[in-house]
């Protein structure tokens, strides 16, 4: 196995890929590879400075650490949404492609069988599979949701370079086998689902309705009571005496 080399890690994954048939999956793979190639070229990353691994519904790219991460993020935030919007406008529902993306950095080794090994790569894959990123894509009308690792945010994004506004990223924590991972999600955080009522919780006590107000002499009573004293009529006039309701005399 080769020595681990510091690289920028780019992961892109197609949403609901397994729900498509073979013909649709083959078409989506072609779309994904074409979009990835065009995005990396726009970021100034040619084929000699990157290495690709095919994962069926996703693509993994190891990019030379000397390539600009700012240019890569700028291309992901502009090129990818624009191209997806253009492609999906002409596509049927079955051929529409929506993507989750992750940008991370770290040391990755490549073995003689082209297997990739490294804890930084494992962490990036867990970010790609995180519920927060999946929920963010479900909540959005856009066809792309991007997450960056904490080292990428701290080293690049937080400085708010042109085309990569730091204020558009939100902190998230992702659970993993090795403990929580900090990351940063581009765009609004996904909405929390409404909490279901707990059937074991005690019911709230009923609040008794207030009785109709009564008063003594000169006051008002209903159901056999008396309106006494000066009473104001609907037309603004005043009448005096007692008005009885119920079975009594009127």
> pLDDT by residue (tens digit) across 37-73?
999 999 999 999 999 988 778 999 999 999 999 999 9
Q: Are 215 and 231 in contact (CB under 8 A)?
A: no
Report domain extents, the chain.
5-186, 212-250
What is the spatial distance between Cα 175 and Cα 123, in angstroms, rounded to a whole number?
Answer: 10
Domain 5-186 has CATH 1.10.10.60: no
Instruction: Give the residue from 86, 37, 78, 28 showing the smallest Cα distance to 61.
Output: 37
Q: State the residue for tokens 């949403």.
A: 15
Burial of 205 (0-12, 13-18, 19+ CB in 10 A): exposed
What is the DSSP annotation of 85-112?
HHHHHTS-GGG---EEEEEEEEEEEE-T
d(C-alpha 117, C-alpha 192), whole Å: 35
What residues of the chain score a pLDDT lower than 50?
194, 197, 212, 214-216, 219-227, 234-235, 239, 243, 245, 248-250
Q: What is the pLDDT of residue 72?
A: 98
0.85 exceeded by pTM: no
Residue 41 CB contacts under 8 Å (≥ 6 apart), including other chains: none
Residue 139 token pair: 């909540």
φ and ψ of 157, to 5 deg: -65, -45
Half-sphere exposure of 238 (CA within 13 A, CB side): 4
pLDDT of residue 222: 45
- Whole-angstrom Cα distance, residue 29 to residue 137? 19
Q: How far apart are CA 89 and CA 162, in angstroms?
A: 29
Reduce the DSSP state of residue 8 to 3 states and report it.
Answer: strand
Query: For 156-187, what is each residue's pLDDT tens digit?
Result: 999 999 999 999 999 999 887 778 999 999 99
Alpha-helical segments (H) within 68-172: 69-89, 119-128, 131-139, 150-155
Residue in the block written with tokens 């519904």: 57
- Picking from 181, 205, 14, 20, the residue whose alpha carbon sits closest to that of residue 94 is 20
């Amino acid at each position: 196995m080769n020595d681990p080399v510091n690289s920028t890690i780019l992961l892109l994954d197609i949403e609901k890929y397994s729900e498509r048939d073979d013909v649709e999956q083959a078409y989506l793979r072609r779309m994904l590879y074409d979009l990835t190639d065009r995005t990396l070229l726009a970021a100034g990353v040619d084929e000699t400075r990157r290495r690709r691994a095919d994962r069926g519904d996703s693509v993994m790219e190891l990019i030379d650490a000397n390539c600009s991460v700012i240019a890569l993020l700028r291309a992901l935030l502009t090129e990818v949404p624009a191209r997806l919007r253009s492609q999906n406008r002409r596509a049927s529902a079955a051929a529409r492609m929506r993507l989750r993306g992750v940008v991370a950095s770290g040391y990755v080794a490549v073995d003689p069988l082209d297997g990739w090994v490294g804890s930084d790569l494992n962490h990036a894959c867990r970010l790609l599979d995180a519920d927060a990123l999946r929920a963010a894509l479900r909540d959005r009308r856009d066809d792309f949701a991007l997450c960056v690792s904490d080292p990428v945010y701290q080293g690049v994004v937080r400085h708010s370079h042109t085309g990569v506004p730091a204020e558009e990223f939100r902190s998230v924590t992702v659970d993993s086998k090795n403990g929580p991972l900090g990351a940063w999600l581009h765009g609004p955080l996904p909405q929390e689902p409404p909490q279901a009522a707990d059937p074991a919780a005690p019911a709230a006590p009923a609040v008794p309705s207030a009785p109709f107000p009564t008063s003594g002499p000169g006051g008002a009573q209903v159901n056999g009571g008396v309106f006494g004293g000066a009473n104001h009529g609907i037309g603004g006039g005043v009448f005096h005496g007692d008005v009885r309701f119920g079975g009594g005399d009127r």
